[in-house]
Amino acid sequence: MNLTKLNLSTGEVRPIRRIQDCIWSCWLDNQWWPYQKHECLRIEEAHLDRLFSVLRGETPGKSVVRVGKFKVIVGPRGTFQENAETKHRRPVRRLSGVAWESREPSGWQALSDSDCFGLECQQTPDPSKSSSNVQRSDDGKHNLDPARMKKTSPATGASCDLRRLEPAA
């Protein structure tokens, strides 16, 4: 299945070939704080189907998506990123990035800035109750809420719904 993204404002459907950006750890001071730069994601097309299936809750039990030296683990205790070398595990609070259309000779060509997305998590930390940018999710709940898998771009107001993943025409 090819992944596509539907712009809810214009009805335009565009292909998704690659996603690249950070896994973000916590909401503090009215903004999201990322993990270190070396922990950024680069998810190629071969992994996208499985990742979105996991995030939408269509894959039962524990699921693992390998991204370079990192693994995104979705299970009964929540969603985590694990460094395959150090085995250090951190909770995933938000996925954000750019949907890339195609790989040209000069490199990957991204969609416009308005096509960026964010996958929010249910358990957003309260900035007034924490000074750490790493929050644990140990209550046994899946911490990615499919109902919030929607992003409205503040720059353009364009809204994209990543739950509408259909085969490309």
Give Cα separations from 148 to 48, 54, 59, 144 (angstroms): 19, 15, 18, 8
Q: What is the pLDDT of residues 14-26, one digit of tens each?
A: 666 555 544 444 4
Q: What is the pLDDT of residues 67-101, one digit of tens each?
A: 666 677 766 666 777 777 788 777 766 555 444 44
pTM comes to: 0.35
Question: Any idea where the domains of the chain sit in the sequence?
Answer: 3-161
- Return contacts of 108-113, CB within 8 angstroms, 24+ apart: 108/17, 108/18, 108/20, 111/14, 113/153, 113/155
Among 81, 87, 75, 65, residue whose Cα is nearest residue 143? 75
β-strands 150-152, 78-83: how paired? unpaired
Using DSSP's 3-state secondary structure scheme, residue 115 falls into: helix
Average pLDDT over residues 40-45: 52
Helix (H) or strand (E) holding 71: strand 70-75
In this structure, of 2-11, 50-59, 104-113, the range with the lowest mean pLDDT score is 104-113
